[in-house]
Structure 1
Amino acid sequence: MKQKRDLFLCITCLLLALLFSMSKERGAEEAMAARIAPEILRFHVLANSDSTEDQNLKLKVRTLLLNTIYEEMGENASLEETKKYVRTHKDSLEKKAEMYMKNLGYDYPAHMELANTYFPTKTYGDMVFPCGTYEAVRVKIGEGKGRNWWCVLYPPLCFVDSSYAVVPDTSKEILRESLDPSDYLKLSTENPKIHVRLKLVDLLKKQKESKEPISENRK
């Protein structure tokens, strides 16, 4: 009985330690996000629903809008120029998306806005952006109740081809010049999720090992 109680207390302590570590790590990520967010503009597309058709449509609309934005702005647009472009071309971009969807047989409205949105930790190529609140170009298709897709619009890190795993040097240079050196280093080399996953695996392993001798003693 005492062994069971000790095991329970041990597991409880480990879980509390894990939760504390995860909370502390998340707090550090969100603090970093608050520091780097003013230099970054995210891109967020919400599908009408989770149906296969609506999810595929979401990706098509995403590609259409990204290609239009990048082609019309040019390669050297600044952060403020990117925001200004979105504000001034909002109506035309919405209409273009709606016309595109109508030609595909969908009568969905498209709504675009600049909004502050909470994003989870996300990897783009060889860079990891921490969870936190960022300003984003938010596109809602129809009801906007389906799974969403996001990327970094500025500096350009929107990879339509998911197999493209290298961040352009020009985008890295923009980040290097605009961010604190220590934040840039963390952004380009750390993946917080890995640490949490390893701790959880280690915990489960210890739990399994702790149960084995108790089972043998009861026989």
Structure 2
Amino acid sequence: MKQRHELFLCITCLLIAFLLTLSDGRQKDEALAARIAPEILRFHVLANSDSSEDQSLKLKVRTMLLNSIYENLGENASLEETKGYVLAHKDSLEKKAEHYMKKLGYNYPAHMEMTNCYFPTKTYGDMVFPCGNYEAVRVKIGEGKGRNWWCVLYPPLCFTDSSYAVVPDASKAILKSSMDESDYKLISREVPKIHIRFKLVELLSKKAEPTDQKPLQSR
């Protein structure tokens, strides 16, 4: 009985320690998110439902809207310009999405808004954005009760095919210049390039080098 009691106490202590570790990690992530969030605008699309058709439609609408926004904004738009474009063209983007869905056989309304909401930790290529509150462009399709999709609208990190996601150097440069270096390192998973030189190759190359010899003097 005593051994069982000690085992129970041990398991309880381990569980408490584990939960405290998780809580501490989450608090650090949310603190980091609060520091970097002012420089980021996320994009959030909610499907009508979890049916395979509605989920497929969500991705099609997502791609159409992203292409439209990026094509009209250009490559050098700032964060404020991106926000301004979305707010100024909100109605036309909604109508464009609805017209696009009707062509595909769906009569869903589309609602777009600028909001501030909580996002879980998400990886984009070699960048990891911690959980926390971010400003976002939210698009609700129909009832908006299905699984959602999200990315980073600014800097441009929205990948339509996450299996081939590579963060553009221009987007990395924007992030790096807009936040503390220490914070950038926390969200970046860039692997430093390591150049390995084998000792044998180095020795062989040295042996192959011609040696300077003094010319023989004639007597």
TM, length-normalised to structure 2: 0.85
C-alpha displacement at 1:189, in angstroms? Answer: 2.9
Task: Tell me the SS of whatever aligns to 2:158.
Answer: coil
Map of 1:43 onto structure 2? 43
Structure 2: stretches of 5+ with no match in the other structure: 191-219
Map of 2:140 onto structure 1? 140
Map of 1:182 onto structure 2? 182
Give the letter for the 1:5 counterpart.
H
Map of 1:100 onto structure 2? 100
Identical residues among aligned pairs (%) = 78
Map of 1:166 onto structure 2? 166
CA distance in 1, matches of 2:189, 2:103: 43
CA distance in 1, matches of 2:134, 2:124: 15
CA distance in 1, matches of 2:11, 2:155: 44
C-alpha displacement at 1:89, in angstroms? Answer: 0.6
Give the letter for the 2:169 counterpart.
D
Give the letter for the 2:93 counterpart.
L
Map of 1:201 onto structure 2? none
- TM-align CA RMSD: 0.9
Map of 1:86 onto structure 2? 86
Task: Tell me the SS of whatever aligns to 1:189.
Answer: coil
CA distance in 2, matches of 1:52, 1:160: 17
CA distance in 2, matches of 1:164, 1:26: 28
Which structure has the highest helix share of the two? 1
C-alpha displacement at 1:161, in angstroms? Answer: 1.1
- Tell me how many residue pairs correspond in the alignment: 190
Deviations along 1:22-63, whole A, 9 cap, x unmatched? 001100100110000000000000000001100000000000
Task: Tell me the SS of whatever aligns to 2:163.
Answer: coil
Q: In the alignment, is residue 53 of structure 1 matched against residue 56 of structure 2?
A: no
C-alpha displacement at 1:4, in angstroms? Answer: 1.2
Q: In the alignment, is residue 13 of structure 1 matched against residue 39 of structure 2?
A: no
CA distance in 1, matches of 2:131, 2:82: 23
Give the letter for the 1:129 counterpart.
F
Q: Which structure is larger by alpha-carbon Rg, 1 or 2? A: 2
Give the letter for the 2:24 counterpart.
K
C-alpha displacement at 1:5, in angstroms? Answer: 1.1
CA distance in 2, matches of 1:165, 1:81: 25
CA distance in 1, matches of 2:123, 2:15: 27
Deviations along 1:89-114, whole A, 9 cap, x unmatched? 10110000000001111100000010
Give the letter for the 2:59 counterpart.
L
CA distance in 2, matches of 1:58, 1:40: 23
Map of 1:117 onto structure 2? 117
Give the letter for the 2:22 counterpart.
M
